[in-house]
Amino acid sequence: MGAYKIAVIAGDGIGPEVLQEGIKVLDTIAELDDTLQFEYTHFPWGCEYYTQHGVMMDEDGIEKLKDFDAIFLGAVGFPGVPDHISLWDLLLKIRKSFDQYINIRPIKLIKGAPCPLKNVKREDVDMLFIRENSEGEYAGAGDWLFKGQENEVVLQTGVFSRKGTERVIRYAFETARKEGKSLTSISKGNALNYSMVFWDQVFEEVAKEYPDVKIASYLVDAAAMLMITDPKRFEVVVTSNLFGDILTDLGAALAGGIGLAAGANINPKKTYPSMFEPIHGSAPDIAGKGFANPLAAIWSASQLLDFLGYEKYGKLVLAAIEELLVEGNVATPDMEGTSNTSEVGDRVAKIIKNIQNIPLNNSGQLSEVGINIVL
Ligand SMILES: NC(=O)c1ccc[n+]([C@@H]2O[C@H](COP(=O)([O-])OP(=O)(O)OC[C@H]3O[C@@H](n4cnc5c(N)ncnc54)[C@H](O)[C@@H]3O)[C@@H](O)[C@H]2O)c1
């Protein structure tokens, strides 16, 4: 097996700072396995590139990226460049061009991670969000009429094609079946009388092909409440682009904070590269200080390993993050620590080297017997 070709788009603000630690962790994993190698190509795209060249990425950027095995992205967006430009001309352009129609966001409260909920067991916060990632409310369809006039009107059209809706719902059913978990659909059929009635209908249709998967369906407002009052209801979750975007930030707050939340943009057919990124933004308020939390980027490195077929190492990386949090000695200020970004990355790398031979249980946690390790 040759080296996996990884396109690195570090982006803006804390993007480069956290991504460096994600790469450190990938390299640590590669050191453990002679058959696994990564070859990185760095692309300088983002807001700084925009201020110099007037574009967020090269005109032929998509062409340049298309033969990579995966894309590892930091964050894009910075004051001075309108957010809709940085988002649409880089991040969404890649997601759409490469038909990365599945966005996977795990919301899992690992040991040692802070949770603002009272009386909730750690195991109760373990959801896998599968968000539609190519159309819906973020299709970019609409119009801006009579600009600046008294009768000004803007239209933002939600686009829900049968193909787009069915494929994400089917992917979610397959995932729930594979993991032996229930599947919850989140929509808003009472108010969105075209798009979400259609979504619910497709969900019911596809459900008939998966009688073995237990299902539930909630309106998005009720779901937001239930994620807080009764999170264990949610196992695998499928929802639209906008609802998924919002609810997974809520989920991030339940499961350790934004500094821990990762997301994978998947092209399931592998016709184009998939993209892995922390879900946080470029955090201009702390950029350049060296104290950004790299754990979300490291978690997305673990998703990248899963995607390439190295689930064993994906679990190892997660176990190392968990061990770091349980130790509680090395943490960035957002987690009430005093360590800097690279100290966290170094510690995760060291833990990986030390726990590589310790068996993990089925959920990728260190088994209780193995926890007594000398680091
Ligand atoms: N995927 C992406 O690239 C992405 C996602 C969201 C926002 N953005 C962009 O990022 C810019 C800033 O957006 P925002 O402020 O709304 O969201 P943000 O996620 O950048 O920051 C929100 C808050 O969380 C903190 N934070 C975020 N990540 C952190 C980390 N790893 N460690 C410690 N603290 C962290 C920040 O300091 C800030 O206080 C905007 O330009 C926005 O468009 C990009």
Concatenating the DSSP letter of every residue in 60-117 gives: THHHHHTTSSEEEEEE---TTS-HHHHIIIIIHHHHHHTT--EEEEEEE--TT-----
**Atom of ligand 1 at shortest range from CA of 77:** 41
Rounded distance between C-alpha atoms, residue 49 and residue 57, angstroms? 7
Q: What torsion do the CA atoms of 159, 304, 127, 280 make, to the nearest 10 degrees?
A: -70
- Determine what percent of the chain is predicted with pLDDT higher than 70: 94
Amino acid at residue number 266: I
Evaluate whether 26 touches 294 at the Cβ level (below 8 Å). no
What integer is the mean pLDDT of 305-324? 94
The answer, yes or no, to whether any atom of ligand 1 lies below 6 A from the CB of 83, is yes
pLDDT at residue 230 greater than cutoff 50? yes
Confidence band (pLDDT; 50, 70, 90) for 371? very low
What pLDDT sits at residue 358? 59
- Tally the residues of the chain: 375
Confidence band (pLDDT; 50, 70, 90) for 366? low
pLDDT (tens digit per residue) in 76-125: 999 999 999 999 999 999 999 999 999 999 999 988 888 999 888 999 99
What integer is the mean pLDDT of 356-366? 59
Confidence band (pLDDT; 50, 70, 90) for 140? confident
What pLDDT sits at residue 360? 60
pLDDT at residue 336 greater than cutoff 80? yes
pLDDT (tens digit per residue) in 17-61: 999 999 999 999 999 998 899 999 999 999 999 999 999 999 999
Confidence band (pLDDT; 50, 70, 90) for 159? very high
pLDDT at residue 375 greater than cutoff 60? no
Tell me the average pLDDT of the chain. 93
pLDDT at residue 362 greater than cutoff 70? no
Pocket test for ligand 1, best of 91, 258, 295, 334 (most atoms within 8 A of CB): 258
The answer, yes or no, to whether any atom of ligand 1 lies below 6 A from the CB of 47, is no
* Number of helices (H), then strands (E), in the chain: 12, 12
Q: What is the pTM of this model?
A: 0.91
What residue owns the CA closest to ligand 1's atom 23? 283
pLDDT (tens digit per residue) in 189-219: 999 999 999 999 999 999 999 999 999 999 9
**Atom of ligand 1 at shortest range from CA of 293:** 32
Pocket test for ligand 1, best of 258, 280, 338 (most atoms within 8 A of CB): 280
What integer is the mean pLDDT of 262-279? 95
**Atom of ligand 1 at shortest range from CA of 78:** 41
Rounded to an integer, what is the distance from CA 224 to the centroid of its chain?
19
The answer, yes or no, to whether any atom of ligand 1 lies below 6 A from the CB of 292, is yes
What integer is the mean pLDDT of 126-147? 95
Confidence band (pLDDT; 50, 70, 90) for 357? low
